[in-house]
Amino acid sequence: MDLTAFISGLPKAELHVHHVGSASPRIVAELAARHPDSPVPKDPDALAEYFTFRDFAHFIEVYISVVELIQDAEDVRLLTYEVARDMARQTIRYAELTVTPYTSVIRGIPDAAFMEAIEDARVAAGRDFGVQLRWCFDIPSELGPRAGEETARMACELGPDGLVSFGLGGPEKGWPRPLFKPFFDRARAHGLHSVPHAGETTGPQSVWDALTALGAERIGHGTSSVRDPELLAHLAQRRVPLEVCPTSNVATGAVPSLDGHPVRQMAEAGVPVTINSDDPPMFGTDLNTEYAVAAGLLELDEAGLAGLARNAVEVSFLDTPAKSRLCGEIDSYLTSWQQRNE
């Protein structure tokens, strides 16, 4: 069954997607035009070639070159606003975008200017594209406790209106989750939700640590949870969702192949599952593609896909009336699709 058309019009929420990692070639070209001295190709054909996903090392190379293009607050605003434009084209209505203010601040963008830029883009994205953005501020683990401390400080002292959650990304090996407990304690005491990455490149213990030390309410990836039946049962019983990003998991080597992705095992164990894109252009994907992949892995039809979209809304940090509105929009889309195709 070809579900492409259904998926592309389906109103969706995305809960695990990174700010810099969402910079499409079009956006990178705009940023590169603002900084002619950058090594990133300016010619659209060369840029498309530069951006064609080859392997994980290439992803890191592209990622770093985009980070280096973000040099002032206007770059931050432009990136954020243009990411929302790309989301609207995929009928994404709501996204919790993971931003890493620390990497911009250490490159010389003042923290207050960074906050103003993302908020300005958030308001404009809602107005111009009908995309509601919220922020997850995450700690880049590889920059250690100093990054944790600064990210928590910015979240608690400067946290803008759109900030809803606190995260932890970067490598897991060598950076155990409990190391970041004091910063999560501070952010949670400030009312932020806890959504660390865990169990993506390490085993299930990292997910247990995220739950017990960091108070995780959702887990970024949690791929290795399937190796621990007790953990799967715990996630199911406590209703802790996994933010699953199938193509990313293959690209990073967390799972050997798309066919071998354990999302079905997660869902069959009763764990709430959401489908996400992580760093979409850099992994050569987008949320619509990930929904199509999930439909194959979970053997979903249109109603099943609408259920998947609802799952994401229900476990998001939107308020209850907004959740009801978006779920209502998903339901009416499904109903009218089914009526047209009877």
Using CB under 5 A, list all residues that contact Zn ion.
Answer: 278
**What are the backbone angles phi and psi of residue 337, rounded to the nearest 5°?**
-65, -45
Q: Which is nearer to Zn ion, 16 or 323 (CB)?
A: 16
Shortest distance, position 212 Cβ to Zn ion, whole Å:
21
Give the DSSP H/E element, type plus range, for residue 120.
helix 111-129
Strands (E), the chain: 12-18, 92-99, 132-140, 163-169, 193-194, 197-198, 219-221, 242-244, 273-275
Calpha distance 9→281 (Å, rounded): 20
Taking CB atoms, the residue at the shortest distance from Zn ion is: 278
Shortest distance, position 173 Cβ to Zn ion, whole Å:
16
DSSP 278: B
Shortest distance, position 205 Cβ to Zn ion, whole Å:
19
Q: Which is nearer to Zn ion, 41 or 220 (CB)?
A: 220
Shortest distance, position 109 Cβ to Zn ion, whole Å:
22
Shortest distance, position 221 Cβ to Zn ion, whole Å:
7
The distance in angstroms from the start CA to the end CA of the chain is: 15
- Mapping DSSP to helix (H, G, I), strand (E, B) and coil, where does residue 168 land? strand
Residues 6 or more apart whose CB falls under 8 angstroms from that of 131 comprise 84, 87, 88, 92, 93, 94, 95, 125
Residues 6 or more apart whose CB falls under 8 angstroms from that of 126 comprise 132, 133
DSSP 123: H
Calpha distance 277→286 (Å, rounded): 6
**Catalytic positions, written as ranges:** 200
Q: Which is nearer to Zn ion, 13 or 73 (CB)?
A: 13
Over its C-alpha atoms, the chain yields an Rg (Å, rounded) of: 19
Shortest distance, position 196 Cβ to Zn ion, whole Å:
10
Residues 6 or more apart whose CB falls under 8 angstroms from that of 278 comprise 16, 17, 18, 21, 245, 247, 248
